[in-house]
Amino acid sequence: MNSRSLARALLASVALAVSVVLAGCDTDQVSLATNAKANQPVSPKLVAAMGEKDMDLQSPILIRLFKQEAELEIWKQTRSGQFALLKTYPICRWSGDLGPKVREGDRQAPEGFYSINPSQMNPQSAYYLSFNTGFPNAFDKALGRTGSQLMVHGDCSSRGCYAMTDEQIAEIYSLGRESFFGGQKAFQFQAYPFRMTPVNMAKHRNNPNMAFWKMIKEGYDHFEVTRQEPKVDFCEKKYVFDAARAPDAKRDPVFDASAKCPAYIVPEDVASAVREKEQRDEAEYSKLVAKGTPVARMNTGIDGGMNKIFAAKIPEGSTGLSEGAEGNTLQMLAMSKAPGTIPGTVNPPKPNLEPTATAPQAEPVVAVSAPATNTRVASAQPAEKSGFFSNLGRKMGFGTADTTATTPPPQATASVAAAATPPTAASRLKAAVTRFVPGHHDTAKDKPAVAAKPAEPAKPAETKVAATRPPLKPSVNDGAQMAGAAPVVSSNSFDSRFGAVK
């Protein structure tokens, strides 16, 4: 018995020694599967899907990722040599905003084209399994962008990364591992803010990152028209796709991200196909802009996004900056099965409450500015029958007013304070008769007056802040703010002083 145990120990030692020797020769391959998590086989269901799509288990892969849609795509090379979509994974969590990573600590997840080789696969990740995106690439470095350890990993937790569930990353990791075992030296990782469609480009046309997005869209288009992994180079601090040697050149062009571009060509069949797609996209984009496609709102105070399938599983979950179907759709998704385990520590994005959260409290209801002595407002109360004093006051220029949810200017506040004790009917009549001027022209003569009413607290639902409301979501009461909707009211009139809040 002891001899058998000793023999096993010796065999284990030999195996370990051999693994160390092999690690010295080919560290990358040995590091791919050093534990049970990293050595999980590809699921039979996914292998069957490959067979149906004319793919081999160990054929090359390519990954595309979209922040706004919160989706990660695995593409795999078919036996015809082109790539086809194998599977789309919803992203559990990503952090930052739409746009590239610029500096260490900005919580941004990178955007652009990156190359993943076996050494970037991490079987010992603290987030179950992971692979390093390779940020910064040569383009990022040429612009002075900084950052490190930007990963695609499990645990649904992100600080500048793309986080999946453990089950998802296990499957993605296994697909990458098998492609390396099949001979692929590195697979391409393409990260985008959104699917580069004319609709999305039109929606984000005012975004300061648009120049960068148009540049990486060229690579997106190269893949779309060829279904081949685009060759990526950098020069003059820009991306270059599918560059080839010029006909009269004696050697392949040498690229430097910070240097002048060398002489190169793009194969005509690829160039023409890309050019045709760009023309179609540009024509569609122009139509969308011409018909007034709303511009996407710039977001502040929201950290990243989450696919709606995961947001639906979390109490008060929000998709954040990702496209989400809120309300009933999220409730319906809550009944479906999540693609993996969502840890209890997940921190979902905050909902976008910017329009109300940042609104100044003292902003007036109406969006027009008026002199202190003449405030044009829209009446929110129904017309009532005129009384003697009300008619007399109207002839003197006293109109009806409603300043619901409006913070009065300093002089108006002082006027209200000075008139804390309402005058008697006799004093009002005396004041009106004293001020009466025969022949006074009453611009509101044909409009019914609203009798003064005791002050009541303003209803929250009537509070509208028109000055800070985004133009894409006009108030349902905007129509009441048209010029001439209510008569001009004297700032020291009885109605304006004692009917300020109705």
Strands (E), 91-170: 93-94, 112-116, 121-122, 130-132, 151-153, 162-163
197's enclosing H/E stretch is none
Q: How many residues does the chain have?
A: 502
Q: Which residues pair with 238 in a beta bridge?
A: 235
C-alpha span between 449 and 413 (Å, rounded):
24
What DSSP string describes 347-410? -PPPP--HHHHT--TT--SSSS---TTEE-----S------HHHHHHHHTT------TT-PPPH
Contact (Cβ atoms closer than 8 angstroms) between residue 163 and residue 69: no
Question: Strand 232-235 relative to strand 187-192: parallel, antiparallel, unpaired?
Answer: unpaired
CA distances from 92 to 283, 389, 449 (A): 35, 67, 59
Told to judge if 222 belongs to the known catalytic residues of this protein, a careful annotator would answer: no
DSSP classification of residue 182: T
Given the residues 92, 153, 156, 204, select the one marked as catalytic.
153
Contact (Cβ atoms closer than 8 angstroms) between residue 67 and residue 109: yes
Given the residues 25, 92, 156, 161, select the one marked as catalytic.
161
What is the residue type of 214?
K
Q: Percentage helix, strand, coil, to 5, in the chain?
A: 30, 10, 55
What DSSP string describes 224-255? HHH-SPPPEEEETTEEEES-B--TT-SS----
The encoded tokens of residue 277 equal 């797609």
Question: Strand 151-153 relative to strand 130-132: parallel, antiparallel, unpaired?
Answer: antiparallel
Strands (E), 82-186: 83-90, 93-94, 112-116, 121-122, 130-132, 151-153, 162-163
Radius of gyration of the chain (CA): 34
Contact (Cβ atoms closer than 8 angstroms) between residue 472 and residue 294: yes
166's enclosing H/E stretch is helix 166-181
C-alpha span between 57 and 63 (Å, rounded):
16
Told to judge if 235 belongs to the known catalytic residues of this protein, a careful annotator would answer: no
C-alpha span between 355 and 302 (Å, rounded):
13
What is the residue type of 467?
A
- Tell me which residues are annotated as active site: 153, 161
